[in-house]
Structure 1
Amino acid sequence: MSETCSHDCSSCGSNCPSRQQPQDFHEPPHELSSIKKVIGVVSGKGGVGKSMTSAMLAVLMNRRGYHSAVLDADITGPSIPKLFGIHTRAVADELGCYPVRSRTGVDVMSVNLMLDNETDPVVWRGPVIAGAVKQFWQEVIWKDVDFMFVDMPPGTGDVPLTVFQTLPVDGIIVVTSPQELVGLIVEKAVKMANMMNVPILGIVENMSYAVCPDCGKKLYVFGESHVQEIAARYHLPVLAQCPIDPELAKQADLGVIESFETDHLDKAADVVEALLKEK
């Protein structure tokens, strides 16, 4: 039986419609929530700056006058609260749970905001982790959100599948690094997005280069970038090639990412903003 089948498809083989098209499991958010656009931020591997990209895009959209939010779906490796300097716990009442608002007004929900101690490990199995993400969508009251960025764990496992099936994702941004492995990363993300009928907005390459503080020369620490050729192969736009920036790392560690100024993600923010103008 296929993972998505509702019947015994052993007799109808690989052409069974339920094997070809995933069922639509999209579920509504909390009845008091209002969320206009949902953007998934994904990667095929960890350590490429996916959470940083999610946080910075939320900050940029907030600066443009929109109300943005981050749903931290990386349950076992949550880092969004740290980036925003949030250490308080989320509160709940008889109506539901509420995200924690950052200094500049970005709403954040993460498992770290539910733990007694934010350094406690989350040792849960896949179905429980996926269930927590659904709760963040269905039981948290997201008020008047223009753009919700969903920071997903790397890979194509339970959580990305749950997000794509449960949330009405308007598009995804694929985050990569310069190594040749980027081709495999993008290909996996593209194929999963196509399977789930989710549009890909483009690619953000992090750690593209470092700038020498003495002469200003670009140093390609991880080798020459392959993102342009990979993007052309899959007919995707490159939304940003972000450098290694010690100041960004410093402000992220201090939890004041909202004070960091950059124009490297402006094109990505333009593409996200355009979603609101689509009919």
Structure 2
Amino acid sequence: MTTIELLHQALATVQDPELHRSLPELGMVKAASINGSTAQLEILLTISGCPMKDRLKTDIEKAVLAVDGVSSVEITFGVMDEEQRANIKKLLRNGRESFISFAQADSLTRVIGVASGKGGVGKSSLTANLAVASAQKGLRVGILDADVYGHSIPRLMGLIGQRPTAIDQMFIPLESYGVKTVSMEMFKPERTDAIAYRGPLLHRVLEQLLSDAYWGDLDLLYIDLPPGTGDLAISLGQLVPTSEILVVTTPQIAAAEVAERAGRIAHQIHQRVIGVIENMSAYPCADCGHMTSLFGEGGGEETSKRLSQLVGSDVPLLGKIPFGAELREGGDAGEPVVISAPDSPSAQAIQEIVAKLIVREKSLLGVRLGLA
């Protein structure tokens, strides 16, 4: 093979860090030539000020310098025009207009809504940790922060102040700890701005976050739902009818009574309730090991019992997360406890829950499997 052929072959091994497709496939290689032992390249970025420019430059140089006969690389960066960006959108969406891929009959992505009857039970913290723990097991995972009024996922995932790359009306989810993440907070002019949307607009927001993001191929999408049984809980059932619901409660019996309502509304709109997680459960004393039930006992079992009776099948208590400072500290620092303190009781309990959660009970027999 000639040096120029080897050069193009090397460029085909370089992927866009956000889109995870090769540069030639995306039309990002405008020109490539050899001048002596120098490779001269013109690369088109999807947008001006692309945040991944430096990483892309490093990846290109590493691949090209491995080509025999090339000792240096000169890269000139340009920016795609509207037509070229439109071609990328068509490529990524297989020629279709904006749509919710998870609602399609051939989708292999499990969509799990994480719900609670009321706020303050640690639903968002659990969503972040469940997602990261799932990614640690080799799954392709995403989080959609649908808690429009009380969004906290960006902080929990270490993404405060970062914004997704937008390609016209499509945007690329941010990624941390191997998890793709989208939140309403990422689109506000200022983090401190409050959001005051009414019902129909909330439905549209969820629809856009699901359809306008380029999620790629996911095995699991966790959706952090607002507490209670409002518009967004109903909208998820309408937009993604195959979505499943995971109910989070605390050990208090009073909290369990409220948590049951979240499962009840899911059942009414024909979503499958796959289990209950009890958060802030009994924890061992650091000195003597004595178990302390700060928030009482029995809430998880009671919620599981009531929901099982409601749906007519087993809604298991998947696990109990001990109350612990490390879970809160990891969230404040933007480092989930399964990363910051993997040997802690909280992290171990989360890992055990994920091991049960990721088992796909529904058969893939007859489902069209795409090749990645």
Q: Which of 202, 205, 216 is the matching residue for 1:132?
A: 205
Q: Secondary structure at the match of 2:246?
A: strand
Aligned to 2:80: none
- The answer to whether 1:259 aligns with 2:339 is yes
Larger Rg: 2
5+ residue gaps, structure 1: 1-26
Identity of paired residues, percent? 34
The alignment yields a C-alpha RMSD, in angstroms, of 2.1
Q: State the distance in 1 between where 2:287 and 2:323 align.
A: 15
* Farther-moved stretch of structure 1 (248-257 vs 164-173): 164-173
Between 111-120 and 72-81, the greater mean CA deviation after superposition? 111-120
**1:137/1:167 contact within 8 Å kept:** no
Match of 1:76 in 2: 149
Shift of 1:144: 1.2
Paired letter, 2:172: Y
Q: 1:30: how far off?
A: 5.4
Match of 2:358 among 268, 273, 277: 273
1:61 shift after superposition: 0.8
- Compare 150-159 and 180-189 and name the one that shifted more: 180-189
TM-superposed CA distance for 1:230, in Å, is 3.6
Kindly provide the amino acid, as one letter, of the partner of residue 64 in structure 1: K
Residue from 165, 181, 189 that aligns with 1:91: 165
Distance 1:36 1:152 in 2: 18
> Runs of 5+ in structure 2 lacking a partner?
1-97, 309-314, 365-372
Structure 2 SS opposite 1:153: coil
Aligned residue pairs total: 251
- 2:215 alignment partner, SS class: coil
Indicate if the aligned counterparts of 2:141 and 2:220 stay in contact, CA closer than 8 A. Answer: yes
| Contact 2:131–2:179 (CA under 8 A) maintained in structure 1 | yes
Q: For 1:57-76, what aligned pairs fall within 5 Å after superposition?
A: 57-76=130-149
**Alpha-carbon distance in structure 2 between the residues aligned to 1:62 and 1:202:** 20
Match of 1:29 in 2: 100
- Distance change >3 Å, CA 95–CA 122, structure 1 → 2: closer
Give distance in 2, aligned partners of 1:189 and 1:53: 16
Counterpart contact for 1:37–1:276, Cα < 8 Å:
no
- Give 1:250 shift: 0.8
Q: Distance in 1 between matches of 2:189 and 2:108?
A: 29
Q: Does structure 1 residue 52 correspond to structure 2 residue 139?
A: no
Deviation at 1:35, TM superposition (A): 6.0
Listed one character per residue, the Cα deviations across residues 70-108 of structure 1 (whole Å, up to 9, x for unaligned) are 000001110001001102111211361111111x22000
CA pair 91-275 structure 1, distance change in 2 beyond 3 A: same
Paired amino acid for 2:239: T
Deviation at 1:254, TM superposition (A): 0.6
In the other structure, the counterpart of 2:225 is: 152
Matching residue of 2:253 = 180
AA at the equivalent of 2:218: V
* Secondary structure of residue in 2 paired with 1:70: strand
Tell me the amino acid that sits aligned with residue 250 of structure 1.
Answer: E
Task: Give, as a single letter, the amino acid of the residue that structure 1 aligns with 2:201.
Answer: V
User: What is the deviation of 1:139?
Assistant: 1.1
The corresponding residue for 2:324 is 245
Q: TM-score, normalised by structure 1?
A: 0.83
Contact 1:30 1:139 in 2 (8 A): no
Taking the aligned partners of 1:79 and 1:229, their CA distance within structure 2 comes to 28
- CA–CA distance in 1 between the matches of 2:352 and 2:327? 19
Q: Deviations along 1:131-158, whole A, 9 cap, x unmatched? A: 2111101111111111000000011111
Partner of residue 17, structure 1 = none
Larger relative contact order, structure 1 or 2 (CA cutoff 8 Å, min sep 6): 1
Matches within 5 A, 1:104-143: 104-143=177-216
One-letter code aligned to 1:189: A
Q: State the Cα distance separating 1:276 from its structure 2 match.
A: 6.9
TM-score for both structures, normalised by structure 2: 0.63
Whether contact under 8 Å (1:100, 1:109) holds in the other structure is yes
